[in-house]
């Protein structure tokens, strides 16, 4: 993980049906790239084997999955399960910044479950989850749900809605695309701030935590005989 200098934001996503998750991934990347000193890479989970080093070196990883049957897609889950080896055990992604986004055809579509999945995946890997900064845009008659940014009023991650009979650029609509763009900018800003802070105040712990071949116990901390 870079401690200073250019910040790398990598968007890891799956998109199969209409390309709507890919359109949001592009928006996240656009927003992140608008932040000074930030470079972005988009990685489809279908091609992740060509990009592992890029993922390992990233300062921030943004996870994107369509909502399929009320959860992350099988392909995205398969990618996550591959992290359950060394990436989890060696704490390889500890303290990397993380965020997420999803899209479904239903206004709800059970998208919250997908975002919860993504946040839990990040938590299991010791990552630092960034919620949506932009306040929900449609709570009253004073706004139009079609035009409001963060029109879904979601905070755990970006929620978008894409009509099942439309593809980008028609769906998801511009308001959801802009919501994703702003979230990418926000995540990149946080990653940049953290990198600067880490350069000034290095962690007293090794990034890869304790690899003792077994979980940490009271014994390791001298708290038992
Ligand atoms: C297998 C499958 C399952 C789906 N399940 C849901 C669902 O549970 N809720 C919903 O609102 N839309 C559901 N949809 C619609 C997709 O979420 C929607 O079309 C989304 O934009 C697809 O993203 P993609 O084009 O990036 O694959 C499903 C679509 C597919 C293909």
Q: What is the pLDDT of residues 176-220, one digit of tens each?
A: 999 999 999 999 999 999 999 988 998 776 655 555 456 677 877
Query: Using CA positions, which residue lies closest to atom 25 of ligand 1?
Result: 18
Domain segments of the chain as ranges:
7-221
Distance 72 CA to ligand 1 centre (A): 10
CA 106/CA 76 separation, integer angstroms? 20
Ligand 1 atom nearest residue 16's Cα: 27
CA 11/CA 54 separation, integer angstroms? 11
* Residue written as token pair 């965020």: 99
Q: What pLDDT does residue 19 have?
A: 98
Counting ligand 1 atoms within 8 A of each CB, the residue from 109, 169, 180 with the most, and so the one to mutate, is 109
pLDDT tens, residue by residue, 68-94: 999 999 999 999 999 998 899 888 999
Distance 189 CA to ligand 1 centre (A): 30
Collapsed DSSP state (helix, strand, coil) of residue 162: coil
Percent of residues, the chain, with pLDDT higher than 90: 84
Ligand 1 atom nearest residue 22's Cα: 26
Q: Which residues line ligand 1 at a C-beta cut-off of 6 Å?
A: 15-22, 66-70, 103-106, 109-110, 162, 164
Distance 164 CA to ligand 1 centre (A): 8
- Residue with the larger pLDDT of the pair 113 and 211: 113
For the cut 50, the answer to whether the pLDDT of residue 2 exceeds it is no
* Residue written as token pair 């706004």: 143
For the cut 80, the answer to whether the pLDDT of residue 225 exceeds it is no
Which alpha helices (H) appear in 34-173, and where do they start and end? 52-57, 74-82, 86-89, 111-124
Distance 14 CA to ligand 1 centre (A): 12
List the structure tokens of 39.
């470079």
Q: Which of the 8 DSSP states describes residue 48?
A: G
Q: Is it true that domain 7-221 has CATH number 3.40.50.300?
A: no
Ligand 1 atom nearest residue 109's Cα: 11
CB 181 within 8 A of CB 31: yes
Collapsed DSSP state (helix, strand, coil) of residue 190: helix
Distance 115 CA to ligand 1 centre (A): 14
């Amino acid at each position: 993980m870079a401690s200073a200098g250019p910040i790398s934001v990598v968007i890891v996503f799956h998109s199969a049906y209409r390309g709507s998750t890919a359109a949001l991934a592009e928006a996240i990347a656009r927003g992140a790239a608008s932040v000074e000193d930030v470079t972005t890479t988009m990685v489809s989970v279908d091609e992740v084997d060509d990009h592992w080093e890029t993922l390992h070196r990233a300062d921030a990883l943004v996870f994107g999955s369509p909502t399929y049957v009320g959860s992350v897609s099988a392909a995205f889950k398969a990618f996550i399960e591959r992290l359950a080896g060394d990436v989890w055990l060696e704490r390889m992604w500890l303290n990397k910044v993380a965020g997420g986004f999803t899209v479904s055809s239903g206004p709800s579509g059970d998208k919250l479950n997908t975002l919860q999945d993504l946040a839990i995946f990040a938590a299991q890997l010791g990552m630092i989850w960034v919620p949506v900064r932009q306040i929900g845009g449609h709570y009253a008659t004073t706004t139009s749900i079609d035009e409001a940014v963060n029109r879904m009023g979601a905070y755990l991650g970006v929620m978008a809605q894409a009509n099942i009979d439309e593809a980008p650029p028609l769906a998801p609509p511009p308001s959801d695309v802009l919501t994703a763009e702003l979230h990418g900018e926000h995540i990149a800003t946080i990653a940049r701030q953290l990198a600067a802070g880490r350069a000034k105040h290095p962690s007293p712990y090794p990034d890869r935590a304790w690899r003792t071949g077994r979980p940490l116990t009271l014994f390791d901390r001298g708290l038992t005989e």
